[in-house]
Structure 1
């Protein structure tokens, strides 16, 4: 299931984000900085603004999705994604992905979708309840759409967080079903490549950093806002005085230092000191605040320049979507032929 990049062979990478608000450090650590690295490796990179997926639980607020689309593209540019080397496209501009989703829905049972642990977790996060079935059918079926997105580009590698592994498993199953029906290898089975950072927690220590939970540091946050959020971070509730030994495990400040502080040896020394006692939370938070300000400030400045040029953002999406559609159109022809789907000539 898990794969590394083998650059002796063709590597095609697909990643994406739902446009429901500005992106945050969880997105950056989990996937975006890996996308930037891949630009320099010779991999074929596609980055999707997943607006169609965003509607699965935002159909009552479509304006929010539309307003977030240029914000997400600006975040990409701010982080260093180069549209000349990475194809940035809009999911809804590729109707072939919707057709591929429809074909795959007929290969996927409802029980298979309901067993998906990511769906169960997302249901709880959105307050649907463990056994409540009063939620959009599109929400239940979005793993099928993700399988269509991945296989539609013949992606060989998909950088994901561990919580997204069930999605990759479904894409692998779908590719196998298409290949069996065609009696030949039409689609590659995509490999999940886990981030070395792992899931970034929210500043409150609960769940993961999330736009909807309001517990994230965003890529557009000012220096002062970053500092304010760091000072609110959950540490060790039993670490009441500087002299007391503290727990590193579950300590959000150390999770962020692990993810973003460049000097890993310094972080290791700080962990030992904290466990022994004699190291205060405020000192650690100041170090982290400085680290994050230095990281986010240039990203924010580049994204501010990008968001001020709406014509450029539209041009990036228009050109990227045209290239992406051409790619998916060729792949869906192979899938239709492999499945023996009738087509009117």
Structure 2
């Protein structure tokens, strides 16, 4: 039997997050809001990537294990509906590890080292030549995740585009070996805000850098974060004209405020002079407090019932395993290793 896919199929969505910390506003505006919208009309799987979290945390694994349920609670709190979206745990889907092993045989070390995202992260983490093998090969693991669920649409930031390129290279090689299109290629869904800056404006908001505003941030945390935000250093007096370029307060207002006409008016007033940083920060704080409070409250309710979160994960994994097992059977057969299935 040949396994082919119709080009008229509705896109299947695969996305996920490393379980290395609670989710933050960068995740919210960069991907989570998209996922909530996509789940209404798409077959969507969200993977809690705990195994990928170990690629640079193997000796501090509690950083991963302690955050698995935090991430699931964040998903539910922002509106991910487990009746519409399959939420599953990477380490409990054995087919993903098997697919990673098969794919590892068609990708060279040189190709992995050329991946610009991997190169950048190796530099940022100062691995030099002490690179964990799991970290170097995590593009292969991502390819396994994407193809296991027949995903064709992957919401990512532009820094992850090299990962999808490498996934599609693997798909092409496996399909060549199988002499049939047993795997589907994928394409990216980019966010309007793939790189929300940190409050100091120096880096992308990132769990690993500890420069985030988390989705469970307290009122005080939000207030302090907004007060510390980088603005225009030359805007010394209220009446001075100010610049909105690189001004983190206006970046956040553009990303999060519900009334963009009002934000445009603020920008014009700030650029002409007559609007102080204190006032713009007050407006932003009110906006973020309004967004985060209901998420924070719902998140805590979910975390108060961890047994239910585990039940939802088990239910999601049962569905995810059924799909991934079908994919791995096709790939296994392409290498002629399906002798026990006769």
Task: Give the Å deviation of 1:343.
Answer: 3.8
Q: Which residue of 2 aligns with 1:53?
A: 52
Structure 1 position 234, deviation (Å): 1.1
**What per-residue deviation string (whole Å, max 9, x for no partner) do you get for residues 157-184 of structure 1?**
0001111111111111111111222222
> Size of the alignment, in residue pairs?
335
Q: Which shows bigger deviation, 49-58 or 25-34?
A: 25-34
Give the match for residue 86 of structure 2: 87
Q: Distance in 1 between matches of 2:321 and 2:226?
A: 42
Unmatched tracts of structure 2, length 5 or more:
1-6
Cα root mean square deviation, aligned = 1.5
CA distance in 2, matches of 1:238, 1:152: 52
Partner of 2:19: 19
* In 2, Cα distance between equivalents of 1:190 and 1:259: 27
Pick which of 107-116 and 300-309 moved more. Answer: 107-116
Secondary structure, in 3 states, of the residue corresponding to 1:159?
strand
Q: Distance in 1 between matches of 2:339 and 2:191?
A: 41
CA distance in 2, matches of 1:168, 1:322: 26
- Between the aligned partners of 2:55 and 2:43, the Cα distance in structure 1 is 28
Moved over 4 A (4+): none
- Alignment of 1:97 with 2:93, yes or no, is no
Q: Does residue 222 in structure 1 map to residue 221 in structure 2?
A: no
> What secondary structure, in the 3-state scheme, does the structure 2 residue paired with 1:319 have?
helix
Q: 2:291 aligns with which of 295, 314, 317?
A: 295
Aligned twin of 1:28: 28
Q: What CA distance in whole angstroms lies between the structure 2 residues aligned with 1:8 and 1:179? A: 20
**8 Å CA contact 1:25, 1:217 repeated in 2:** yes
Aligned-partner Cα distance in 1 for 2:178–2:296: 48
CA distance in 1, matches of 2:257, 2:243: 19
Q: Is the counterpart of residue 320 in structure 1 residue 316 in structure 2? A: yes
| CA deviation profile, 1:26-57 (whole Å, cap 9, x unmatched) | 1111111111111222x001000000000000
Matches of 1:342 and 1:82, distance apart in 2: 37
Choose which of 147, 150, 154 in structure 1 pairs with 2:146.
150
Contact 1:245 1:278 (8 Å CA) reproduced: yes
Output the CA distance in 1 between the equivalents of 2:153 and 2:177: 23
Of 319, 327, 336, the residue aligned with 1:331 is 327
- Secondary structure class of the residue paired with 1:262: coil
Aligned residue among 235, 258, 269 for 2:254: 258
2:190 to 191, 194, 209: 194
Q: Deviations over 1:303-340 (max 9, x none)?
A: 00000001101101111111101100001111222343
